[in-house]
Amino acid sequence: MHCLRFLVLAQEAQTIDKEEVALIGYVIFAMLLLSVMIILFFVTFQKRKHKLLLEQIEQQKQFDEEISRTQSEIQEQTLKHIGRELHDNVGQLLAYASMQLNMLTSKVPEDLKEKVDDTSSIVKDSLKEVRALSKSLNNDVILNMGLEDAITNELERLKRMKFSSAELVIEGNPFTLKNEKHVLILYRILQEFFSNSVKYSEAENLRVILKYQPNNLLISASDDGKGFDVSTVQKGSGLINMESRAELIGADFKLTSEEEKGTVLNIEYPIS
């Protein structure tokens, strides 16, 4: 009797042990399943978050590019308008003044002729400067002239105004850039560099090199001014404009400067 009872209790204990083992197994499986689901949810969440961040960055980039493009177009239209006003109004007034002075020369006394001639010469020089400046501001004229002639026109104007020498050097086999907007942007970057040289560098000489390569146009502009520390100088609107314009056309932009040795601008514009 006692043996039978013992056997029954042993069977019940085995049944309980199996149930406990099964229960523990179910719990472990549930925990593993829950862990996998949490990990999958976390990975999916991170991927979604990363994708949204990339989309936001891309949208911001497109927005910034559109702003830069719009600003550039507005600036071009403004410069074009100013160039036309200089050519059509100021230029005509100076041309008329020059003509009147030429007529007056034959009628003034001998002791005043020298002064009249000097004044006439100043008016003619001013007319020449106004015409050269109007060309450098009007994008239609720049495109008709081409990049090289437009740079030459600007360098000659600056040489008459300030510098001892201002030269353009051509290397390689020249070719015409197909994208007219990019031509204007490259020219405006150089024009900004020239403007900074005039205002801040105290330089005596300017030099521009256009190096034509099969896949790139390398542009180098330099002055022999007092230079500055690029790492400490505060970026003004001029430098920011140059950088943003270069980025807009996919060109590599680098500006280096050494105190008492001058400043060098390098642009690598990919043809493709």
Lowest mean pLDDT across 62-76, 90-104, 114-128: 62-76
Cα gap 264→206, rounded to integer Å: 10
Q: What is the pLDDT of residue 216?
A: 93
Alpha-carbon gap, residue 77 to 83, rounded angstroms: 10
SS3 99: helix
> What per-residue confidence (pLDDT) applies to 87?
59
For 28-71, write each residue's pLDDT tens digit. 877 887 788 888 887 887 887 777 777 676 666 665 565 555 55
- For 3-37, b/e burial (b = at least 16 CB within 10 A) is eeeeeeeeeeeeeeeeeeeeeeeeeeeeeeeeeee
Q: How many helices (H) and strands (E) does the chain have?
A: 7, 5
**Predicted pLDDT at 116:** 73
Candidate from 80-84, 170-174, 253-257 with smallest mean pLDDT: 80-84
Instruction: Please compute the mean of the pLDDT values over residues 201-214 and round it to a whole number.
Output: 92
pLDDT surpassing 90 at residue 206: yes
State the Cα–Cα distance between residues 166 and 171, nearest whole angstrom: 17
- Mean pLDDT for the chain? 78
* Phi–psi pair at 209, nearest 5 degrees: -120, 125
Q: From CA 131, how far away is CA 88, in angstroms rounded?
A: 10
Structure confidence at residue 114 as a pLDDT band (50, 70, 90) = confident
Residue showing tokens 């002055």: 223
| pTM for the whole structure | 0.64
> Which residue did the predictor score with more confidence, 155 or 13?
155
CATH topology of domain 163-272: Heat Shock Protein 90 (3.30.565)
Pick the range with the lowest mean pLDDT from 10-14, 19-23, 58-62, 151-155: 10-14
- pLDDT attached to residue 65: 60
The pLDDT score that the predictor gives to residue 73 is: 58
**CB neighbours of residue 190 within 10 Å:** 22
User: What pLDDT score was predicted for residue 157?
Assistant: 87
192 vs 8, residue with greater confidence: 192
